[in-house]
């Protein structure tokens, strides 16, 4: 097919965010053999703004997407987040190209009414919606014309290219990458965890008033550490996880995540370490820090699972086949989490 992929490729980050889902899904589309024209929404808005800011460039970016679709004449317009692209723009594209299919993928949480308002406003002009949340929250977005489907976090062998389970020299015993601004519970949790494990070397980045780390430098820290935490903003929402889970497991580091989101359906107990509260987490970090054979075995199985089942090509295959109503989407391991069909 011809595809226009209108997402946020974050060219302004100069490669620091090379691990973003936009890149992984884009690579997956190309690997499937499609011609994929990249339309980087926020970067295009900046380019078309008289002052170089995104806000003033929104309207011309919408016009540019319409013109891009007229020029490329895609079979599929795939949007990634795309908050700046309006429903009116999508209607105009449909008017110009009556046979086009339009899908949208979104990997932020669905529980915030205001943050997801733009999704609901576009459901009438979409052929499919794909989100990294499952359950009743996802089901509420389904429409007769627009099924709502879960997608897992994608990994890419060219991006998650490391095998931390093969490391012999270590920078840290355990890691966390994230932010605690506006997240007092996360901050208190990390402070408490460090106090409980004074004998181990922690690597906390972006929290506790410590700087974040990105790009190649971040990869090296993951590659040279024993284990890492996957702490999402909530652990009680069906199938939801921060996209860091793919970045960590895809680079072969033992990953620990709170139980409660039903991730057991995606990862077995010997692929991902689940914990119940800080007491259980403390015990498990201490255990795997001193039992390398068990740590390596679980980390390797988690790495294999991600690169086999949740790579960007398989996620892209699911997205394209469901949007085009081809039966292939039913083969995905997560295919039962589709609402509206």
Residue-wise pLDDT for 262-273, tens only, equals 999 999 999 999
- List residues bridging with 143 in a β-sheet: 146
pLDDT digits (tens, 9 = 90+) for 267-314: 999 999 999 999 999 999 999 999 999 999 999 999 999 999 999 999
* Whether 146 contacts 340, CB under 8 Å: yes
The pLDDT score that the predictor gives to residue 44 is 94
Average pLDDT in the 139-168 region?
A: 96
Q: What is the pLDDT of residue 233?
A: 85
pLDDT confidence of residue 327: 95
On the question of pLDDT at 13 being above 80, the answer is no
Q: pLDDT tens-digit profile of 205-239?
A: 999 999 999 989 999 999 999 999 999 888 899 99
Domains 2-154+311-339 and 164-309 share a fold: yes
pLDDT for 14 = 82
Mean pLDDT of 69-98: 97
Tens of pLDDT, residue by residue over 53-73, are: 888 999 999 999 999 999 999
Work out whether strand 172-177 and strand 225-229 pair parallel, antiparallel, or are unpaired: parallel
Contact 277, 246 (CB under 8 A): no
CB atoms within 10 A of CB 72: 17
Residue 49 burial class via C-beta count within 10 angstroms: exposed 0-12, middle 13-18, buried 19 and up: middle
Decide the pairing of beta strands 254-258 and 273-275: parallel
pLDDT of residue 71: 98
Residue 258 banded pLDDT, cuts 50, 70, 90: very high
Contact between 128 and 323 (Cβ < 8 Å): yes
Bridge pairing between strands 273-275 and 338-339: unpaired
What is the pLDDT at residue 62? 97
What is the residue extent of each domain of the chain? 2-154+311-339, 164-309
3-class DSSP state of 159: coil
Beta carbons of 84 and 60 less than 8 angstroms apart:
no
Confidence of residue 9 (pLDDT cuts 50, 70, 90): confident
The torsion angle over the Cα atoms of residues 291, 302, 266 and 205, rounded to 10 degrees, is 80
Q: What is the pLDDT of residue 142?
A: 97
Phi, psi of 150 (to 5 degrees): -75, 145
Give yes or no for residue 7 having a pLDDT over 90: yes
Specify which residues 78 forms β-bridges with: 5, 103
Contacts with 151 (C-beta within 8 Å, 6 or more apart), sequence order: 105, 107, 130, 131, 132, 315, 318, 319, 334
**Pairwise CA distance, residues 235 & 178, whole Å:** 15
Q: At what angle do helices 277-289 and 292-309 cross, to 10 degrees?
A: 110
Q: Which fold has domain 164-309?
A: Rossmann fold (3.40.50)
Interval 162-189 mean pLDDT: 94
The answer for residues whose C-beta is within 8 angstroms of residue 39's C-beta and 6 or more apart is 4, 5, 6, 7, 64, 65, 68
CB within 8 Å of 213: residues ≥ 6 apart: 177, 205, 206, 221
Domain 2-154+311-339 = CATH 1.10.260.40: no
At residue 185 the predicted structure's pLDDT band, cuts being 50, 70 and 90, is very high
Q: Provide the greatest CA pair distance for the chain.
A: 64
Nearest by Cα to 317 from 152, 158, 94: 152
Q: What sign for the dihedral angle of Cα 251, 253, 254, 257?
A: negative
Percent of the chain with pLDDT over 90: 91
Residue 119 confidence class, pLDDT cut points 50, 70, 90: very high
Residue 186 pLDDT grade (very low, low, confident, very high; cuts 50, 70, 90): very high
pLDDT tier for residue 165 given thresholds of 50, 70 and 90: very high
**Which of the four pLDDT bands, split at 50, 70 and 90, describes residue 244?**
very high
């Amino acid at each position: 097919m011809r595809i226009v992929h209108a997402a946020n490729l974050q060219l302004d980050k100069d490669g620091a965010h090379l691990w973003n889902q936009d890149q992984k899904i884009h690579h997956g589309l190309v690997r499937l053999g499609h011609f994929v024209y990249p339309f980087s929404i926020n970067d295009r808005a900046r380019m078309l703004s008289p002052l170089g800011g995104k806000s003033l460039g929104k309207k011309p970016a919408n016009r540019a997407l319409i013109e891009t679709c007229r020029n490329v004449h895609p079979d599929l317009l795939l949007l990634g987040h795309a908050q700046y692209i309006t429903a009116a723009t999508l209607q105009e594209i449909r008017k110009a190209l009556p046979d086009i299919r339009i899908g949208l993928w979104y990997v932020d949480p669905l529980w915030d009414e205001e943050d997801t308002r733009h999704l609901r406003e576009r459901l009438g002009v979409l052929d499919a919606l794909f989100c990294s949340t499952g359950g009743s929250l996802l089901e509420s977005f389904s429409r007769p014309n627009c099924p709502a489907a879960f997608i897992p976090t994608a990994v890419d062998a060219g991006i998650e290219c490391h095998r931390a389970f093969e490391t012999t020299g270590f920078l840290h015993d355990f890691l966390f990458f994230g932010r605690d601004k506006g997240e007092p519970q996360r901050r208190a949790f990390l402070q408490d965890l460090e106090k409980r494990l004074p004998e181990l070397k922690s690597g906390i980045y972006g929290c506790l008033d410590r700087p974040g780390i990105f790009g190649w430098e971040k990869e090296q820290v993951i590659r040279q550490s024993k284990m890492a935490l996957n702490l999402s903003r909530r652990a009680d929402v069906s199938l939801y996880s921060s996209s860091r889970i793919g970045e960590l497991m895809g680079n072969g580091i033992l990953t620990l995540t709170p139980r409660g989101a039903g991730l057991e359906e995606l990862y077995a107990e010997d692929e991902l370490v689940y914990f119940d509260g800080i007491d259980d987490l403390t015990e498990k970090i201490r255990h795997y820090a001193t039992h390398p054979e068990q740590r390596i075995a679980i980390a390797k199985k988690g790495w294999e699972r991600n690169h086999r089942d949740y790579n960007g090509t398989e996620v892209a295959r699911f997205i394209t086949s469901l949007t085009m109503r081809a039966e292939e989407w039913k083969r995905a391991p997560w295919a039962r989490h589709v609402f509206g069909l």
